[in-house]
Structure 1
Amino acid sequence: MIVLSEESQRTSGKDAQNMNITAGKAVAESVRTTLGPKGMDKMLVDSGGSVVVTNDGVTILKEMDIDHPAANMIVEVSETQEDEVGDGTTSAVVVAGELLDQAEELLDQDIHATTLAQGYRQAAEKAKEILEEDAIEVTEDDRETLVEIAQTAMTGKGAENSKDLLADLVVDAVLAVKDEDGIDTENVSVEKVVGSSIDQSELVEGVIVDKERVDENMPYAVEDANVALFDGAIEVKETEIDAEVNVTDPDQLQQFLDQEEEQLREMVDHLVDIGADVVFVGDGIDDMAQHYLAQEGILAVRRAKSDDLKRLARATGGRVVSNLEDIESDDLGFAGSVAQKDVGGDERIFVEDVEEAKSVTLILRGGTEHVVDEIERAIDDSLGVVRTTLLDGQVLPGGGAPEAELALQLRDFADSVGGREQLAVEAFADALEVIPRTLAENAGLDPIDSLVDLRSRHDGGEFGAGLDAYTGDVIDMEAEGVVEPLRVKTQAIESATEAAVMILRIDDVIAAGDLKGGGSDDDGDEPAGGPGGAGGMGGMGGMGGMGGAM
């Protein structure tokens, strides 16, 4: 009996597992060289010719345009990590790939996939317990640690040379937008300026709106400004229905025009009456209204984005109003300075000197567009980790120290686990050592020597012992100031484990069309796109053949 259509393709049993594991490992392999302070960058070129140069794991995987369904599960690990904590995306993917690699060996020894899944889950739970017990407490007042966390997130990225300055700016920005509802890093706006050096980046305690004043006769700058925020248009309202006006006399036309002008004049007079010095409008401003506003010395900006209006409301203490007639003086915000300034050849409106800047703007500068884009990605990661640290109040040493400690303790834990799950727990411990091993490889060090030193120090009770990628020594990471949030590690382990378990439990792949790659080659010796290649990803060639080039 034929159940599936002729175009369908079905792979089941060991073949399906091997295909999916190969795809997952290939994704991990593609970003592995970017891990750590000595990680390399990837150049990604899309079909339109635009170029992205980065070593940010999630950015690489998004740009690679991966089609293979199992490979996409590993990509989702990096996206989850990015959304939850903002950093550790490469680590999470590399761990997921190594869990699959270790599982492949056990599957070849006829250990069932569900046994592996159970062992992996037990190991992940135990790993989280161990990390939570050993975490270091941090408070909002411990500024030095917060700066170190921001610096660690930038290490190995394009911003590394100026990480001292940028880390300070990041910590100031996050502390500024913190309120009783928590910390929303969306309130830290980032403005990129090509030109000048990274060292000239700065934090503006207020909002920069990428607009200009609507009329040349309006003031360039207003001091001690009352700011009105109107999410509408300063224009004569059109009728709700199609209307036709028959004019039989020129005086009638003039009356009609005078009436429109009168309406606009009343709108502007209302703003004058409530004491507005600056008005940000979400929609258009009629030419005549612009003239009246300029006459009154009011600085007006039109077509401000709704996000900008929200940020302005947070920064100035004003309220966004959707009906101009409803604006009262109580709805106005206040800023010590609202001025139009030149930034990198573009005119923008700066709203500064606010009483309590709950919305701030980072101006990032760099020599080229690619440099500025990569700095922005590094800043995004840093904002995420500082926010996470402030919310959770717990950090861990970096440099592969947590993974080395987990590997040691999980091997001891494996002895207490009954049945074949014990082998899965041991495999999990081995998989976690991929992080310090990769850090050593990417730094040009001998991974075996580095791992032996790390294991020896952790066996002696040094939880903070990690690998210094610059010198090759094993040092106390906490004392050196290399720390990262607890949640970066726990989330990475959780996401990587879930993705690996889900892939391992698949024993049948039914595709409506041709499922590219991932099978055996013609000789049946090795899966296509095996450990060294990316062919098994199927569809990773979306970036102009990137799949085969990784």
Structure 2
Amino acid sequence: MALHVPKAPGMAQMLKDGARYLSGLEEAVYRNIAACKQFAQTIRTAYGPNGMNKMIINHIEKMFVTNDAATIIKELEVEHPAAKLMVLAAEMQEAEVGDGSNFVIIFAGALLEAAEELLRLGITPSEIVEGYESALEKAQEVLSTLIVYEIKDYRNLEQVKKGIKTSIMSKQYGNEDLLASLISQACVSILPEKTTFNVDNVRVCKILGAGLNSSQVVQGMVFKRQVEGDVTKKTSAKIAVYTCAVDVMQTETKGTVLIKNADELMKFSRGEESLLESQIKSIADSGASVVVSGGKFGDMALHYMNKYNLMAVRIPSKFDIRRLCKAVGGTALSKLMPPTKEELGYADSVHIDELGDTSVVVFRLDGNESRISTIVIRGSTENYMDDIERAIDDGVNTFKGITRDGRFVAGAGATEVELAAQIAAYADTLPGLEQYAVRKFASALETFPKTLAENSGSRASELLSKLYAAHKEGKKTYGFDIDGDSASLIDSVEAGILDLYLTKNWALKYAVNAACTILKVDQIIMAKRAGGPKPRAGGANSDDES
């Protein structure tokens, strides 16, 4: 009979060898908080207009240089389970509002940091969670009373520009006026009468060369391509769109043709040619002057396209084909046949343009009939233009938020300080231990003006005392002036620094939910990882590779 050695008692005996089990405050809770604090600290230095950039090289060795939190967390591939919860909350914020993901991570990190102190004092995690949740309710109640500006007419360019400006300022400080006017122009021009605004309808085309000031908005679509044939310009163009190749049709079944003499060979090839010619002639007769294809154009087809004065444009991406159909009001046909009047799209002009040394094909629609607009960005490097694109994405998402709820609160840390002051006063009215958690919630809100000051090289403690003093005097819209001297204040409404109410409201909600979920964890059980060959320690391009 084989000797059986029992495993160690407790949780370990239930799990496979190699599984890990952590429990209690020291092993689980404090470890989770330490990881989240570290993660929030990384994002903190990128917060605000003077936030530092991060250089990230992802798993396929693509480089990103940005201070956009959404991009940072997406490319970092965070593995720690607790930090992952913060990432998921930030991603939810990005999906819901499209901006403010850095707010979620910084605030959740600050709440957990504050909770650690309370835990060491002997307060239980459930009491802290209760306190945070009641503080969140109070914060949302107070936030709705701090509205300072509202956009009622979101077709008014000047009002929209004022609303979008702050979200761009935090990413591209100094270029906010130019970008805000481009974005508001692009968004308002395609705003539908009844249906909701779709973020995907504002496209971005990045072309190297010149400077950011040469950027422009085009009503319609711009593709970095050449035309296929000899015709390079059409005005008042009717457009036929095909997803198939414009070439001699391939039969579905294989066949063998027996040709006995040269005459039969000539007839056979002439038959194919005349069929292709008749197809292209019928397209030209339908009124189309531009043919767009998702497949290739054959040499023979191009010959007939030039003969019948048709412009040929190839767009290999099926997503771009769909967007083009939406922009010009056409229907994509899957077979080479003449389009009906309803299936033809229309553009005021289709032409080749040259920006720098890049050829582009422009489908332009003047007036209000375009349903898609393109912002053409010019810049010196690809990384710089990628960062501009991220700022534009935030601006477009802010515009979408404005169409849902046009209310704004004061920016520059003013709203956070006012919330902190009112929640600290609310904590004094509470009985029991949860008042400590509510007070810590208020101090966690102070992180934002502090971070703005630290990133701008000012003294955070001096700024905070000045802000509290100003807010006590009733100056509720006073925030931190990043352009002024050390720790100087500014009326954020007069300066036009406004944050979308929706962004703040959802960010508070998601941050508190993430922090409370992490605090409720008291055990971490990790199963043994699935087998398989382990990657080499140095990675693919390591220096010690022989």
* Fold conserved between structures, TM > 0.5: yes
Name the CA shift for 1:100/1:542 in 2 (closer, same or farther; >3 Å): farther
Q: Given the alignment of the two structures, is residue 470 of structure 1 paired with residue 472 of structure 2, yes or no? A: no
Paired with 1:127 and 1:310, the residues of 2 have a C-alpha distance of: 44
What is the deviation of 1:513?
4.2
What is the aligned partner in structure 1 of residue 448 from structure 2?
435
Question: How big is each residue's C-alpha offset from its partner over 1:75-132, in whole Å with a ceiling of 9 and x where there is no partner?
Answer: 2233222222222222221101001111111122222222222222222222222222
Selected match of 1:151 from 143, 150, 165: 165
- Contact 2:208–2:382 (CA<8 Å) still a contact in 1? yes
What is the deviation of 1:244?
3.8
What is the deviation of 1:421?
2.5
The one-letter code of the counterpart of 1:110 is G
User: Structure 1 residues 1-10 or 302-311, which shifts more?
Assistant: 302-311
- Contact 1:232–1:323 (CA<8 Å) still a contact in 2? yes
What is the aligned partner in structure 2 of residue 57 from structure 1?
69
What is the aligned partner in structure 2 of residue 373 from structure 1?
386
What is the aligned partner in structure 1 of residue 533 from structure 2?
none
What is the deviation of 1:400?
0.7
Q: Given the alignment of the two structures, is residue 481 of structure 1 paired with residue 499 of structure 2, yes or no? A: no
Paired with 2:462 and 2:539, the residues of 1 have a C-alpha distance of: 39
Paired with 1:326 and 1:98, the residues of 2 have a C-alpha distance of: 64
Paired with 1:276 and 1:288, the residues of 2 have a C-alpha distance of: 19
What is the aligned partner in structure 1 of residue 433 from structure 2?
420
What is the deviation of 1:298?
0.7
Name the CA shift for 1:437/1:386 in 2 (closer, same or farther; >3 Å): same
What is the aligned partner in structure 2 of residue 534 from structure 1?
none
- Contact 1:65–1:542 (CA<8 Å) still a contact in 2? no
Question: How big is each residue's C-alpha offset from its partner over 1:418-474, in whole Å with a ceiling of 9 and x where there is no partner?
Answer: 432222222211111111111111111111111112122222333312111221322
Q: Given the alignment of the two structures, is residue 504 of structure 1 paired with residue 519 of structure 2, yes or no? A: yes
What is the deviation of 1:413?
2.6
Name the CA shift for 1:119/1:243 in 2 (closer, same or farther; >3 Å): farther
What is the deviation of 1:250?
4.1
Q: How does 1:298-337 map to 2 (within 5 A)?
A: 298-325=310-337, 327-337=339-349
Paired with 1:431 and 1:385, the residues of 2 have a C-alpha distance of: 25
Q: How does 1:530-545 map to 2 (within 5 A)?
A: none
Name the CA shift for 1:364/1:461 in 2 (closer, same or farther; >3 Å): same
Q: Given the alignment of the two structures, is residue 390 of structure 1 paired with residue 403 of structure 2, yes or no? A: yes
Selected match of 1:202 from 207, 216, 226: 216
Selected match of 1:285 from 284, 297, 307: 297
Paired with 2:268 and 2:111, the residues of 1 have a C-alpha distance of: 76
Selected match of 1:6 from 4, 14, 17: 17
What is the aligned partner in structure 1 of residue 88 from structure 2?
76
The one-letter code of the counterpart of 2:376 is I
Name the CA shift for 1:322/1:418 in 2 (closer, same or farther; >3 Å): farther
Question: How big is each residue's C-alpha offset from its partner over 1:262-297, in whole Å with a ceiling of 9 and x where there is no partner?
Answer: 332232122111100111112233322221111111
The one-letter code of the counterpart of 1:205 is Q
What is the deviation of 1:194?
1.8
Q: How does 1:75-474 map to 2 (within 5 A)?
A: 75-135=87-147, 136-139=149-152, 140-157=154-171, 159-179=172-192, 180-215=194-229, 218-325=230-337, 327-355=339-367, 356-471=369-484, 472-474=487-489
SS of alignment partner, residue 481 of structure 1: coil
- Contact 1:395–1:483 (CA<8 Å) still a contact in 2? yes
Name the CA shift for 1:543/1:84 in 2 (closer, same or farther; >3 Å): farther
Paired with 1:133 and 1:313, the residues of 2 have a C-alpha distance of: 45
- Contact 1:95–1:434 (CA<8 Å) still a contact in 2? yes
What is the deviation of 1:482?
0.5
What is the aligned partner in structure 2 of residue 494 from structure 1?
509
Question: How big is each residue's C-alpha offset from its partner over 1:163-184, in whole Å with a ceiling of 9 and x where there is no partner?
Answer: 2111100101111222122111
Question: How big is each residue's C-alpha offset from its partner over 1:309-344, in whole Å with a ceiling of 9 and x where there is no partner?
Answer: 233233323333334436212322222211112223
Paired with 1:70 and 1:254, the residues of 2 have a C-alpha distance of: 74
Question: How big is each residue's C-alpha offset from its partner over 1:148-177, in whole Å with a ceiling of 9 and x where there is no partner?
Answer: 3322122243x3333211110010111122
TM-score scaled by length of structure 1:
0.88
What is the deviation of 1:199?
0.9
SS of alignment partner, residue 331 of structure 1: coil
User: Structure 1 residues 44-53 or 349-358, which shifts more?
Assistant: 44-53
Paired with 1:544 and 1:478, the residues of 2 have a C-alpha distance of: 51
SS of alignment partner, residue 38 of structure 2: helix
SS of alignment partner, residue 95 of structure 1: helix
Name the CA shift for 1:320/1:354 in 2 (closer, same or farther; >3 Å): farther
SS of alignment partner, residue 330 of structure 1: coil
- Contact 2:283–2:338 (CA<8 Å) still a contact in 1? no
Paired with 1:367 and 1:210, the residues of 2 have a C-alpha distance of: 17
Paired with 1:246 and 1:129, the residues of 2 have a C-alpha distance of: 85
The one-letter code of the counterpart of 2:206 is K
Question: How big is each residue's C-alpha offset from its partner over 1:490-547, in whole Å with a ceiling of 9 and x where there is no partner?
Answer: 1211111111111111111111248xxxxxxxxxxxxxxxxxxxxxxxxxx99999xx
TM-score scaled by length of structure 2:
0.89
Aligned residues: 517
SS of alignment partner, residue 118 of structure 2: helix
- Contact 1:336–1:353 (CA<8 Å) still a contact in 2? yes
Paired with 1:116 and 1:487, the residues of 2 have a C-alpha distance of: 26
Gaps of 5+ in 2: 1-8, 530-537
User: Structure 1 residues 119-128 or 32-41, which shifts more?
Assistant: 119-128
- Contact 2:70–2:101 (CA<8 Å) still a contact in 1? yes
The one-letter code of the counterpart of 2:247 is E
Name the CA shift for 1:120/1:251 in 2 (closer, same or farther; >3 Å): farther
Question: How big is each residue's C-alpha offset from its partner over 1:163-222, in whole Å with a ceiling of 9 and x where there is no partner?
Answer: 21111001011112221221112111111122111111111111112322112xx21111
Question: How big is each residue's C-alpha offset from its partner over 1:123-145, in whole Å with a ceiling of 9 and x where there is no partner?
Answer: 22222222223223212155334
Name the CA shift for 1:224/1:455 in 2 (closer, same or farther; >3 Å): same
- Contact 1:385–1:484 (CA<8 Å) still a contact in 2? no
Paired with 1:115 and 1:263, the residues of 2 have a C-alpha distance of: 80
The one-letter code of the counterpart of 2:313 is V
User: Structure 1 residues 299-308 or 502-511, which shifts more?
Assistant: 299-308
What is the aligned partner in structure 1 of residue 532 from structure 2?
none
Paired with 1:252 and 1:412, the residues of 2 have a C-alpha distance of: 98
- Contact 1:189–1:360 (CA<8 Å) still a contact in 2? yes
SS of alignment partner, residue 285 of structure 1: coil
What is the deviation of 1:397?
1.2
What is the deviation of 1:225?
1.1
